[in-house]
Amino acid sequence: MDKSRVATLHQLLNQYNYEYHVLDNPSVPDAEYDQLLHELIAIEEAHPELKTDDSPTVRVGGTPLSRFEKVNHDTPMLSLSNAFSEADLRAFDERIVKDVGQVEYMVELKIDGLAVSLKYEKGKFVQGLTRGDGTTGENITENLKTIHAIPLSIDSPLTFEVRGEAYMPRKSFIKLNEQKEKLGETLAANPRNAAAGSLRQLDSKITAKRNLSVFLYSVNDLKELNAQSQSEALDKLDELGFVTNHERALCKNIDEVLQYIEKWTKLRNDLAYDIDGIVIKVNDLHKQQELGFTAKSPRWAIAYKFPAEEVVTTLLDIELSVGRTGVVTPTAVLEPVKVAGTTVSRASLHNEDLINEKDIRIGDSVVVKKAGDIIPEVVRVVMDRRKPDAVVFKYPEICPSCGHHLVRIEDEVAQRCINPKCDAKLVEGVNHFVSRTAMNIDGLGEKIVESLFNEDLIQDVADIYGLTKEMLLPMERMGEKKATKLLEAIENSKQNSLERLLFGLGIRHLGAKACQILAENYMTMDRLKTVTVDELVTINDIGHKMATSLVTYMENEDIIRLIDKLKDYGVNMSYTGTLKTEIEGHPAFEGKTIVLTGKLSVLSRQEATKQLTNLGAKVTSSVTKKTDLVIAGEDAGSKLVKAESLNIEIWSENDMVKALEDL
């Protein structure tokens, strides 16, 4: 009886789920679905042997995990090249036409969510992965099972992998934030972040409550569907019970593609979910195969990204902050407003000249824009909305932190505090000193640094090395374990090579690359104390401004005392890295001009630049005809597009890492 009833409940629940989440046409009320689901749960609790992996009850979540397993994709999940303008799209079309002749394009909405891969074996959903780095993803199968739009089984014995985008509908996002607000929790920034966070919950019961959905857009091997085109493949996915986005369109040429983009640029806010662009694919699968792939992305597809969104809000105030070099930076305090999916309440104003040039006043209605992860900025004032009581901002003559007179150095736009004892400068200087690219003292965050200053436990960077457990433990949120780990990190940082210490000291005009060059050339801090400007400018990449800055710095009595203090605490003062003369060049890199673009996940950009430079490469920031190689990380943009148009060799980050490991 129970076995027969279980089969009936499976059939009914799967049917009602399909009607509701795929067809958007439910045949029964939610209450009836819930009643049947609870009946099935009760039977499975009484008879665990009747529960199957594809039971509708898995939608409510299961036992929490301790971690996510890393799994290699059967075929890499490549990301797409990006286009940001009509010119980029026409260049893409010209390259396609040149290579394979005139084509039709399938255009689809680019869902702003999290890319996922779903594996089916003999029609059963068995594994779901995140994109990860494209080669390896995280196993989030149990969380994906809670998404009703993902079929747990299909009416076909197919073994294949379906790919798509999991997302949080806008109504689910609003509901989530209403719940967070009631509980006094921090609100989710936007639906994309909320979806990503929901899918990475170790407890799938939490994911189940977030009401996520999914759109599927491809199969890793389209031969499984016996499809001849992208449009046919999507239709076949529909027939199998998968959810695809039906706002897609088949365009005969690039002009029709541009019309489609224009339409959805206007209508995007009317959708029930967020999109951040349009995906354009060559429709014919045979021509896709003929066009092939770069190391990072398919040559037959491109993603058009919507331009930066602009909104109007009120500028409530202008606040000033002092950086480690003494530059006083103005920031606009805004009436909170949603821009590009996130709530913005602060925006950059850059400097005094910009405020005057744009005639920005407190109380003005201003246009704010934010593209992707770029810091929001004030674009312009809406002059016809200016109120009579709008206040002209007068830049101060004294430092807002220490009261010392500000100066404006010739040929610079910044107002600067030159007081070496300025508290704000000292705090920012320590934050820079302990940062990952400098001394890399893990656990010494901005709040702890500020507390150390407030408690008068440190006055300069050298005092960090005099900290003890007895000094740290009375601090707020500083337990025994945390204090021990912090002191270990401080102790370990003493062994850093000279270039890290130089960069950490924050010498004006000297970036990480210049510090590396100086450390390699002079080997010790004592030698650097005695160099002259004339001597320094003979070194490649060290200009007069850098040389003058270093010599002036090393002549300062306070700096000499600080360096001696660091030395007394046992901080290393010598270069311990590998000298270029000891390194053999690598044929893939030596003598080549290389550009890094996109987000790197294995190496930091600084570390990758350092290793490539040590192997004889010249790493530059822009792609030109002289560029020999482009190494593309995740979300590579216009530089990758340009490299493809110039037929420059393109590597993925994994290609670079493998070549480095082969050494």
For residue 111, the 8-state DSSP code is E
Q: Is 423 buried (19+), middle (13-18) or exposed (0-12) by CB count in 10 A?
A: middle
Question: Closest by alpha carbon to 510, among 479, 542, 462?
Answer: 542
CATH of the domain at 339: 2.40.50.140
Look at residue 526 in the predicted model and tell me its pLDDT. 92
Q: Which of 3, 70, 98, 110 is catalytic?
A: 110
> Do 122 and 255 fall within a single domain?
yes
Cα(260)–Cα(263) distance, integer angstroms: 5
Looking at the domain assignment, is residue 574 inside a domain? no
Q: Is the CB of residue 376 less than 8 Å from the CB of residue 370?
A: yes
Cα(578)–Cα(569) distance, integer angstroms: 25
Residue spans of alpha helices (H) in 380-462 = 423-433, 446-454
| 546-576 pLDDT tens trace | 899 899 889 888 889 999 999 999 999 999 8
Q: Where are the beta strands (DSSP E) in 139-205?
A: 160-167
Q: Does residue 36 have a pLDDT over 90?
A: no
Looking at the domain assignment, is residue 486 inside a domain? yes
> Do 436 and 555 fall within a single domain?
no
Q: Please state the rounded mean pLDDT for residues 166-183.
A: 86
CATH of the domain at 638: 3.40.50.10190
Looking at the domain assignment, is residue 577 inside a domain? no
Q: Does residue 51 have a pLDDT over 70?
A: yes
Q: Please state the rounded mean pLDDT for residues 241-263.
A: 94
Residue spans of alpha helices (H) in 403-538 = 423-433, 446-454, 469-472, 480-493, 498-504, 512-522, 525-528, 533-536
Q: Considering its fold, how many domains does the chain have in total?
A: 6
In DSSP notation, 242-267 reads ----TT-EEESSHHHHHHHHHHHHHH
Q: Choose from 11-25, 269-283, 358-372, 611-625 the range with maximum mean pLDDT.
A: 269-283
Contacts for 263 with CB less than 8 Å, ≥ 6 apart: none
Range of the domain at 459: 423-493
Q: Please state the rounded mean pLDDT for residues 99-125.
A: 93
Q: Which residue has the higher pLDDT, 431 or 222?
A: 431
> Do 251 and 174 fall within a single domain?
yes
Q: Can you tell me which residue has the tokens 């209605």?
A: 365
Q: Is the CB of residue 489 less than 8 Å from the CB of residue 441?
A: yes
* Helical (H) or strand (E) element with 304: strand 301-305
**Domain-terminating residue out of 261, 284, 305:** 305
For the ranges 264-268, 505-509, 544-548, 636-640, which has the lowest average pLDDT?
Answer: 636-640
Cα(277)–Cα(306) distance, integer angstroms: 5
Using 50, 70 and 90 to split pLDDT, how confident is the model at 261?
very high
Using DSSP's 3-state secondary structure scheme, residue 194 falls into helix
Using 50, 70 and 90 to split pLDDT, how confident is the model at 372?
very low
Ramachandran class of 324: left when φ > 0, alpha when ψ lies in -120 to 50, beta otherwise = alpha
Q: Please state the rounded mean pLDDT for residues 414-429.
A: 81
Q: Does residue 89 have a pLDDT over 70?
A: yes
* Mean of per-residue pLDDT scores for the chain: 85
* Helical (H) or strand (E) element with 291: helix 285-291
> Do 19 and 100 fall within a single domain?
no
Strands 342-348 and 301-305: unpaired
**Domain-terminating residue out of 444, 475, 493:** 493
Q: How many CB atoms lie within 10 A of CB 38?
A: 12
Look at residue 586 in the predicted model and tell me its pLDDT. 60
Show the tokens assigned to 321.
């902050």
> Do 506 and 465 fall within a single domain?
no
Using 50, 70 and 90 to split pLDDT, how confident is the model at 366?
very high
| 511-528 pLDDT tens trace | 887 898 899 888 999 999
Show the tokens assigned to 575.
């270069």
Q: Please state the rounded mean pLDDT for residues 334-360.
A: 84
* Helical (H) or strand (E) element with 649: strand 649-652
**Domain-terminating residue out of 518, 538, 568:** 568
Looking at the domain assignment, is residue 65 inside a domain? no
Q: Does residue 417 have a pLDDT over 70?
A: yes
Q: Does residue 601 have a pLDDT over 50?
A: yes
Cα(570)–Cα(586) distance, integer angstroms: 36
Cα(185)–Cα(285) distance, integer angstroms: 48
CA angle 162, 298, 220 (to 5 degrees): 20
Looking at the domain assignment, is residue 167 inside a domain? yes
Cα(364)–Cα(402) distance, integer angstroms: 30
CA dihedral 106, 111, 116, 120 (to 10 degrees): -50
474-513 b/e (C-beta count within 10 Å ≥ 16 → b) = ebeebeeeebeebbebbeebeebbbbbbbbbbbbeebebb
Q: Does residue 392 have a pLDDT over 50?
A: yes
> Do 384 and 255 fall within a single domain?
no
> Do 144 and 102 fall within a single domain?
yes
Look at residue 222 in the predicted model and tell me its pLDDT. 66
Looking at the domain assignment, is residue 199 inside a domain? yes
In the chain, the largest separation of any two C-alpha atoms, in whole Å, equals 95
Q: Does residue 506 have a pLDDT over 60?
A: yes
Using 50, 70 and 90 to split pLDDT, how confident is the model at 373?
very low
> Do 624 and 650 fall within a single domain?
yes
> Do 86 and 140 fall within a single domain?
yes
Q: Is the CB of residue 275 less than 8 Å from the CB of residue 301?
A: no
Show the tokens assigned to 63.
């036992």
Q: Please state the rounded mean pLDDT for residues 324-345.
A: 83
Q: Does residue 374 have a pLDDT over 60?
A: no
Q: Where are the beta strands (DSSP E) in 323-374?
A: 328-339, 342-348, 361-362, 365-370
Q: Is the CB of residue 303 less than 8 Å from the CB of residue 405?
A: no
CATH of the domain at 506: 1.10.150.20
Look at residue 396 in the predicted model and tell me its pLDDT. 84
> Do 87 and 223 fall within a single domain?
yes
Q: Can you tell me which residue has the tokens 């979300």?
A: 635
Share of the chain above pLDDT 70, in %: 92
Show the tokens assigned to 78.
């490549």
Q: Does residue 361 have a pLDDT over 90?
A: yes
Q: Is the CB of residue 391 less than 8 Å from the CB of residue 362?
A: yes
Cα(656)–Cα(598) distance, integer angstroms: 14
> Do 537 and 651 fall within a single domain?
no
Looking at the domain assignment, is residue 576 inside a domain? no
Looking at the domain assignment, is residue 408 inside a domain? no
| 263-308 pLDDT tens trace | 998 888 889 999 989 999 999 999 998 988 876 788 999 999 887 7
> Do 148 and 23 fall within a single domain?
no
**626 is known as an active-site residue:** no
Using 50, 70 and 90 to split pLDDT, how confident is the model at 418?
confident
Q: Please state the rounded mean pLDDT for residues 430-458.
A: 88
